[in-house]
Amino acid sequence: MRRLAASLVVALTCGISAAGHAQGARNIASLAGVDGIEIVVEEMNPAQEALGLSERAIRSDVEVQLRRAAVHVVSQVPQCGVLPCLYVHVTTTTGTGTTASFVHVGLQQLVSLSRDTSLAISVETWRALGRIGLAPSSQTADRVRDAVRNEVDQFITAYLDANPRH
């Protein structure tokens, strides 16, 4: 239980940090003109899979959600840094019958440094606020997938604000 509480404190700290970077006009403006995105969901570890989480199911949820909002999804092997990439990361820690989770969704794009435009790196230009959860382990998969959907909704709202013609 102590480990679970410590993990929740870490997750809360990450969430507070993410909340401190609430989306301003600059971050939303970074989405203007993005014609298509790739989706990358970080691979689940065996403990997460035992909770019923899978990279494939989360990726499918995200892809359906984006396509319904008319956001063009590029269906190829993800190459973050070449095309804008919506990155989904899920962290979980399980205690006795209870699981703490943190969900992060962000868009990574290739950007150039103003001092040297020959240098281009992939950086996160937009991020959702982050979702922290604590649930019975038997409900973790559903709660995490709901949290991912909420994070992706934040992205869709920002994307459509930056690209009103869509």
pLDDT band at 166 (very low <50, low <70, confident <90, very high): low
As a whole number, mean pLDDT of residues 82-93 equals 93
Task: Give 148-163 pLDDT, tens digit per residue.
Answer: 999 999 999 999 999 9
Q: Is the pLDDT of residue 3 over 60?
A: no
Give the chain's domain count.
1
In whole angstroms, what separates CA 85 from the centre of its chain?
Answer: 10
Tokens 């982050």 sit at which residue? 130
As a whole number, mean pLDDT of residues 121-135 equals 92
Q: Is the pLDDT of residue 82 over 80?
A: no
What pLDDT was estimated at residue 80?
66
Q: How far apart are CA 128 and CA 155, in angstroms?
A: 7
What pLDDT was estimated at residue 144?
97
What pLDDT was estimated at residue 17?
46
Range of the domain at 49: 2-162
| CATH number of the domain to which 58 belongs | 3.30.160
Q: How many CB atoms lie within 10 A of CB 8?
A: 20
What pLDDT was estimated at residue 76?
67
Q: State the pTM of this model.
A: 0.82
pLDDT band at 122 (very low <50, low <70, confident <90, very high): confident
Of 72, 62, 56, nearest to 147 by C-alpha is 62
Of 31, 53, 24, 33, nearest to 145 by C-alpha is 53
